[in-house]
Amino acid sequence: MPVATGPLRIAKVVRVRGVVQGVGFRPHVYRLAQAHALDGWVLNGDSGVEIRVAGSPEAIDAFVQALTEQAPPAAAIVAVDVGSCDVDAVGAGFEIRTSTSGHQPTTRMSPDLAVCDACLRELVEPLDRRHRYPYINCTNCGPRYSIIRALPYDRPQTTMADWHLCEACATEYHDPADRRFHAQPVACAACGPMYRLFIDGEESIRGDEAIGEAARLLRGGFIVAIKGIGGYHLGCDADNANAVAEVRERKYRKDQAFAVMVRNMDVADDTVWLDRESRELISSVARPIVLAPARVTLAGVAPDNRDLGVMLPYTPLHHLLFASGAPSRLVMTSGNRSSEPIAYRDDEARTRLTGLADAFLIGERPIARRVDDSVVRVGVCGPVVLRRSRGLAPAAVATLPVKTPLLAVGGDLKNAVTLAVDGQAYVSQHIGDLSHVESRRAFEETIRDLLEMYAIAPSDLIVAHDQHPEYASTFHAAGITAERTIAVQHHRAHVASVLAERGAFDRRVVGVAFDGTGYGDDGSIWGGELFVGSVAGGFARVARLRPAFLAGGDAAAKHPVQAAAGFLAQLDNLPDLSSAPFAFPARYRDACVLVQRRVRVFPTTSAGRLFDTVAALLGFTRPVTFEGQAAMWLEHLARGADWDAMELPCSFVDAELDWRGTLAAIVDARMREVPPERIARAFHRALARGLRDAIVAIARSAGVDTVALSGGVMQNQLLLEELRDALPPAALQLWTNRAVPPNDGGISLGQAAIAAFAR
């Protein structure tokens, strides 16, 4: 029954793609249609939100414009397509229709969202029916990715399926004018899940008192396992040195920094120095951990580090814990033993974390998949993602020119995988180090999960993997009966990740990959590589760090003095490094013997191992307990120096960045008792200048004006700062990673980009 509103009634079909499901988009469309007096309907389709509208052309134009301009805060619109359709097919009134599901959903899943201000106001309002309800949420906030079991995103397909809406919740859920219209996880204390506190395996309390008691335990210095959005945290008072030491002891985590959750922005400001960009990051809907310079010393929280990782509360439960008197700075570290993946299933958490936690605060809503906290920082070239997980995954980070579904399995360290569907590249949450059985299981689960979610058969896939023949990820890729399998060299993948994020596939660049470890074309261990080329045309290696021998291969990454042996073997007139001021342990001499005899030694161009060598010379002679530790220690040491113009050589000759003079000068300076921090600082500058010479020479001869920098070493902000300052101003554009990590967490995106162009 068409409605006559004059001769100028037309109809349009509008398709909106992007993150538009589970973010309050359909109610937004409904309200706009009402406001512009349009008839029609909206529904969640497989490829986004579909809208039919009928009315005057002016009203439809205004409606389409407002769709994007007034979009809900958590929506991320990628495209709005408008086409004509039959005006007679659109009846009177506007309605929200039920979702359709075809064979292959390409809708983007929304990442999890921090609780919104409107919900927080209700949470603390004594008269509100959700007063102190730990699972309060609405269409603008709450869990998404961590509760989705299948697409499209509807309650029966989430971990909320077992809870039936009470009358009051149902009314809100069905009212298009309500903030909770079709909010899939909607619930209240009358009908929804709750928290329970377990002490010594016994359930002691359920409900609000459980939260109060947990807060009391935290105040008393106890360690509490707290179920969050994507897994369990181990929480304790960050200002209580004994409690912090106890967590380290129990987790077997010796040195790596813990993240701190602070009560609110004021406490954040008391704890770290936040500039404008860092403030935006820390309060963004993703609520990541933000690394920033510490203003306070919290004993044992971040040893040998000038930065602290700080985050704001992001679930209603966190807010309730603080409101119930929990200490205003809590260590919130992932619930696991060191380097295992975070626990997220209740039974698993109870078993794995027994002995780690004094009590368990367990929420009844199941977690569909593991999602750690994301880690970001404001770097020299803008915001950098160091770990891409909760709040960011699984948003698409790039568009690739490939129609076939493509899976890139990443590398073995800091693993994350990328799935490209219809050219949209979705990067998974951080998975971790695949040398652990648990992480390998998580890796396989994540791949299965993503393929199921997008209804993709493995046989239809192009699979990309690292060129390393011994990687667990390579073995896994080989086990997939895919359409095609493509090996991608590690450092080309690093460089390609920078370009993929920007969609700059044809751009010819100087690509710099400064990294720890990666399998090279010649089978040696690469990690200080310079390329010229593009993603579409391929990257030719044109220069590199001078090779050294690495005794014991990749195992040397755990022992800076072992790495040092291979580099220092190329220097003449070395003093006895086993005595002061170097005091290298016996492992150094053993490694020297291997290097001399060429037994179990492998050539390497790894910049990471060069940093380890310098760290060893300046006092870091113990083994590292996590990847990159010695280099972080060296950067921290260098930050403590007053610059006083000490110069170290580092030359670029014959396509080789030569560190021999640098190391000889460092040994000499150490013998002359130059303070180690000054030497550390000078090393960063020397290497940056050597690299600058290399980049400028290569860019000139190749006729390119863009430099793409990536690899784990490029997380070093002091090196980047020195490099930026050393490059001739405005002559070259410096591109670094923005959406995916420069470390191996970004590898899978680069693999996917290169595979998309493979012929």
Contact residues for Zn ion (CB under 5 A)? 116, 119, 138, 140-141, 166, 169, 188, 190-191
Smallest gap from residue 607 Cβ to Fe ion (A): 10
Smallest gap from residue 74 Cβ to Zn ion (A): 10
Smallest gap from residue 77 Cβ to Fe ion (A): 33
Smallest gap from residue 503 Cβ to Fe ion (A): 22
> What does the H/E/C string look like for 297-356?
CCCCCCCCCCEEEEECCCCHHHHHHHHCCCCCEEEEEECCCCCCCCCCCHHHHHHHCECC
Nearer to Fe ion, 490 or 678 (CB): 490
Distance, in Å, from the CA atom of 449 to the CA atom of 426, rounded to the nearest integer, reads: 13
**CA 613, chain centre distance (Å):** 29
Amino acid letter, 265:
M
Distance, in Å, from the CA atom of 637 to the CA atom of 618, rounded to the nearest integer, reads: 9
Q: Which entry of Zn ion, Fe ion, none binds 116, CB below 5 to 8 A by partner kind?
A: Zn ion
Nearer to Fe ion, 372 or 515 (CB): 515
Residue 329: φ, ψ to 5°: -130, 115
Q: Which entry of Fe ion, Zn ion, none binds 744, CB below 5 to 8 A by partner kind?
A: Fe ion
Smallest gap from residue 510 Cβ to Fe ion (A): 18
Smallest gap from residue 340 Cβ to Fe ion (A): 22
Smallest gap from residue 137 Cβ to Zn ion (A): 6
Smallest gap from residue 23 Cβ to Zn ion (A): 11
Give, as ranges, the residues between 511 and 550 that touch Fe ion (CB under 5 A).
515
Nearer to Fe ion, 358 or 744 (CB): 744
Distance, in Å, from the CA atom of 754 to the CA atom of 80, rounded to the nearest integer, reads: 28
Q: Which entry of Fe ion, Zn ion, none binds 199, CB below 5 to 8 A by partner kind?
A: none
3-state secondary structure of 74: coil
Nearer to Fe ion, 449 or 515 (CB): 515
Gap between the terminal Cα atoms of the chain = 54
Smallest gap from residue 492 Cβ to Fe ion (A): 11
Q: Which entry of Fe ion, Zn ion, none binds 21, CB below 5 to 8 A by partner kind?
A: none
Nearer to Zn ion, 314 or 567 (CB): 314
Q: Are 391 and 111 in contact (CB under 8 A)?
A: yes
Measured over the CA atoms of residue 671, residue 675, residue 680 and residue 682, the dihedral's sign is negative
Nearer to Zn ion, 179 or 685 (CB): 179
The candidate with the shortest Cα–Cα distance to 227, out of 352, 315, 131, is: 315
Nearer to Zn ion, 285 or 342 (CB): 285
Which positions ≥6 away from 568 have C-beta within 8 Å? 574, 577, 613, 663, 667
Q: DSSP per residue over 188-230, as a string?
A: -TTTS--EEEEETTEEEEESHHHHHHHHHHHHTT--EEEE-SS
Residue 569 gets which letter from DSSP? T
Asked if the bond preceding 152 is cis, omega within 30° of 0, the reply is yes
Which positions ≥6 away from 660 have C-beta within 8 Å? 546, 570, 571
Q: Which entry of Zn ion, Fe ion, none binds 296, CB below 5 to 8 A by partner kind?
A: none
Smallest gap from residue 518 Cβ to Fe ion (A): 5
Nearer to Fe ion, 529 or 744 (CB): 744
Give, as ranges, the residues between 245 and 274 that touch Fe ion (CB under 5 A).
none
Nearest residue relative to Fe ion (C-beta): 515
Smallest gap from residue 433 Cβ to Fe ion (A): 13
Residue 202: φ, ψ to 5°: -95, 140
Region near Fe ion per CB under 5 A, out of 70-78, 234-242, 644-652, 737-745: 737-745
Q: What are residue 224's DSSP bridge partners?
A: 235, 359
Tell me which H or E stretch contains 531.
strand 525-534
Q: Identify the burial level of 573 via C-beta atoms within 10 angstroms of its C-beta, where 0-12 means exposed, 13-18 middle and 19 or more buried.
A: exposed
Nearer to Fe ion, 322 or 531 (CB): 531
Q: Which entry of Zn ion, Fe ion, none binds 169, CB below 5 to 8 A by partner kind?
A: Zn ion
Nearer to Zn ion, 251 or 365 (CB): 365
User: Of 259, 487, 744, 755, which one interacts with Fe ion (CB under 5 A)?
Assistant: 744
Q: What are residue 513's DSSP bridge partners?
A: 529, 710
Q: Is 627 in the site for Fe ion (CB under 5 A)?
A: no
CB atoms within 10 A of CB 645: 7
Q: Which entry of Zn ion, Fe ion, none binds 113, CB below 5 to 8 A by partner kind?
A: none
Distance, in Å, from the CA atom of 375 to the CA atom of 477, rounded to the nearest integer, reads: 28
Nearer to Zn ion, 146 or 613 (CB): 146
Q: What are residue 543's DSSP bridge partners?
A: 530
CB atoms within 10 A of CB 688: 22
Smallest gap from residue 605 Cβ to Fe ion (A): 13
Q: Which entry of Fe ion, Zn ion, none binds 50, CB below 5 to 8 A by partner kind?
A: none
Nearer to Fe ion, 501 or 744 (CB): 744
Q: Which entry of Zn ion, Fe ion, none binds 413, CB below 5 to 8 A by partner kind?
A: none
Residue 746: φ, ψ to 5°: -100, -5
Q: Which entry of Fe ion, Zn ion, none binds 119, CB below 5 to 8 A by partner kind?
A: Zn ion
The candidate with the shortest Cα–Cα distance to 166, out of 192, 194, 133, is: 192
Q: Which entry of Zn ion, Fe ion, none binds 696, CB below 5 to 8 A by partner kind?
A: none
Smallest gap from residue 185 Cβ to Zn ion (A): 10
Distance, in Å, from the CA atom of 223 to the CA atom of 49, rounded to the nearest integer, reads: 45
Nearer to Zn ion, 10 or 166 (CB): 166
3-state secondary structure of 241: helix
Amino acid letter, 185:
P
Smallest gap from residue 712 Cβ to Fe ion (A): 5
Q: Which entry of Zn ion, Fe ion, none binds 595, CB below 5 to 8 A by partner kind?
A: none
Q: Which entry of Zn ion, Fe ion, none binds 515, CB below 5 to 8 A by partner kind?
A: Fe ion
Region near Fe ion per CB under 5 A, out of 153-161, 375-383, 431-439, 740-748: 740-748
Nearer to Zn ion, 118 or 457 (CB): 118
Amino acid letter, 332:
M
Region near Fe ion per CB under 5 A, out of 93-101, 547-555, 702-710, 743-751: 743-751
Dihedral of the alpha carbons of 621, 624, 625, 628, in degrees to the nearest 10: 150
3-state secondary structure of 147: coil
The candidate with the shortest Cα–Cα distance to 334, out of 263, 258, 386, 393, is: 258
Smallest gap from residue 613 Cβ to Zn ion (A): 52
Q: Is 466 in the site for Fe ion (CB under 5 A)?
A: no
Q: Which entry of Zn ion, Fe ion, none binds 138, CB below 5 to 8 A by partner kind?
A: Zn ion
Nearer to Zn ion, 74 or 732 (CB): 74
Q: Which entry of Fe ion, Zn ion, none binds 191, CB below 5 to 8 A by partner kind?
A: Zn ion
List contacts with Fe ion (CB under 5 A). 515, 744
